[in-house]
Structure 1
Amino acid sequence: MLEIKNLSLTIEGDKGPVEILKDINIVFEERLLYVFTGPNGGGKSSLAKVIMGIYKPTSGKIIFNGEDITELGVTERARLGIGYAFQQPPRFKGLTVGELLQLAVGKDKIMREFSLLYDVGLCPQDYLEREVDISLSGGELKRIEIASLLARELKIAVYDEPEAGIDLWSFSRLTETFQNYHRTHDTTIVLISHQERILSLADEIILVADGMIKEQGSRDVIWPLIMEDAGCNCRDACSEGNEEIVECHR
């Protein structure tokens, strides 16, 4: 349904042009759940923003359901059914959470915003009348934005590090929500994450590093390769000298 062909992205940095993405080729199929993973600064978020139309590629094409959308902006792509949840969501002073979700679900689904908030670990009674402003924490804002995307019945939905700023209980609820949504909807889902629990949801994992696709394949194939490259299993304690390290970040 979505094909990226020979795509590259170069942006102007403080010291001149910087090549961010290099000759990217991906085909996203309908109803699959993809996870982008890889080192920080490797190009994951930039690739997601190119899909949404926030960044315009320097070269290459983006084909969506047979249509070349390379030159289309964010608004046009949103109308086609493409959505993006930012790593740091925007705030909207003067707009309540209920109003934001109502815009997403439409007037014919008045009560659905209640279940959407439950799905992301928020109590509707505590949040529907609150404004989407600085009074909300980063984690609360992230969950509200995710709920607004879940409401839209998108054809392709991209979530940039959906677990960022979310507590452990809400994270568990959120992974269940993605799993259930994937099972019951036709939306193609793209998640950007380093979390093993989110990686475990993937039909396919795409490893992005140095602006390139290093590996792509089924979860069962790619996950062992990632762990081998990492040099250790981060679920276990690592040791350095005579001292035990609880978490390994290699």
Structure 2
Amino acid sequence: MLKLDNVCYAVEEDGKQKFILKNINFEIGDNETIVITGHNGSGKSTLMKIIMGIVPVTSGKIYFNGVNITDMTITDRAKLGIAYSFQTPVRFKGLKVKDLLITAQKTNTKLMEVCNYLSRVGLCARNYIDRPLDDSLSGGELKRIEIATTLARGARLNMFDEPEAGIDLWSFDGLISAFNENKAKNNCSNIIISHQEKILGIADRIIVMDSSKITMMGKRDEIMPSIKSSKVCSRLQGEDYE
């Protein structure tokens, strides 16, 4: 489905080239979930933005279903079936929650279907369906609405940047179920950035990043012991692995 071939991204800093991503190579197949983890500043979010086309590559190629999308716009990538949920969601003033979800589906969506997406991310549809997407929503509420919107797109490849941010523990298991159900229903693939052990637990494969590079990659059961070791654990955020 998705292939990154020697992808690099660099910026100019003090007259020198500084690599944010260096020699990134991996593939994700159909109906597969990859979780990317690593400490802050390792390049995880930048990698997602490059796949979505928000940030241009410095060198290397990106392929989606055999098509070279390296120079494609964000819109064209979305049309091919790539969806992205930001780490910090965008507020769309002037729109209501239901407007965003209905637009995401691009079909003759029934209101009940829209409500189901909100319920799957732990929000009471009756309380949110007509809410404006403005400053009255907390960061956690907005995060869940954006995740629901991404799921509603029915994309072939869904990318979620730290979906657990702002999500209370009561709703967390429901979020995990939503990812699994969406994958099974739509035969889609997921790339998730997370440090949370429960999310790592649904991965088919795990990628660990450090200092702009992929340092480990493999099946979940092969990588988890290394992640839980003190050497790797000390470089990751939080206490989720302890």
TM-score (norm 2): 0.93
1:200–1:24 distance in 2 versus 1, CA, 3 Å:
same
Contact persistence 2:10–2:20 (CA under 8 A): yes
Q: What corresponds to 2:4 in structure 1?
A: 4
Aligned Cα root-mean-square deviation (Å): 1.8
| Structure 2: unaligned runs, 5 residues or longer | none
More divergent stretch after superposition (55-64 vs 13-22)? 13-22
How much has 1:13 moved relative to structure 2? 4.4
More divergent stretch after superposition (112-121 vs 10-19)? 10-19
In structure 1, distance between residues paired with 2:129 and 2:5 = 42
Identity %: 47
In structure 1, distance between residues paired with 2:102 and 2:182 = 19
More divergent stretch after superposition (140-149 vs 182-191)? 182-191
How much has 1:153 moved relative to structure 2? 0.9
In structure 2, distance between residues paired with 1:51 and 1:160 = 12
Q: What corresponds to 2:168 in structure 1?
A: 167
Bigger radius of gyration among the two: 1
How much has 1:14 moved relative to structure 2? 6.8
TM-score (norm 1): 0.90
| Structure 1: unaligned runs, 5 residues or longer | 235-246
In structure 1, distance between residues paired with 2:199 and 2:12 = 33
Q: What corresponds to 1:51 in structure 2?
A: 51
How much has 1:172 moved relative to structure 2? 1.9
Contact persistence 2:160–2:192 (CA under 8 A): yes
1:248–1:180 distance in 2 versus 1, CA, 3 Å:
closer
Q: What corresponds to 1:185 in structure 2?
A: 186
Contact persistence 2:4–2:25 (CA under 8 A): yes
Once the two structures are superposed, residues 132-180 of structure 1 have per-residue CA deviations (whole angstroms, 9 ceiling, x without a partner) of 1111000000000000110111011100000001111112211121122
1:28–1:15 distance in 2 versus 1, CA, 3 Å:
same
Are 2:217 and 1:216 aligned?
yes
Contact persistence 2:197–2:240 (CA under 8 A): no
How much has 1:113 moved relative to structure 2? 0.6
Contact persistence 1:31–1:188 (CA under 8 A): yes
Quick one: which amino acid aligns to residue 155 of structure 1?
R
Contact persistence 2:196–2:240 (CA under 8 A): no
In structure 2, distance between residues paired with 1:12 and 1:79 = 32
Are 2:125 and 1:96 aligned?
no
Contact persistence 1:11–1:20 (CA under 8 A): yes
Per the alignment, in what secondary structure is the counterpart of residue 117 of structure 2?
A: helix
Q: What corresponds to 2:26 in structure 1?
A: 26
Q: How does 1:112-191 map to 2 (within 5 A)?
A: 112-191=113-192
Instruction: State how many pairs are aligned.
Output: 237
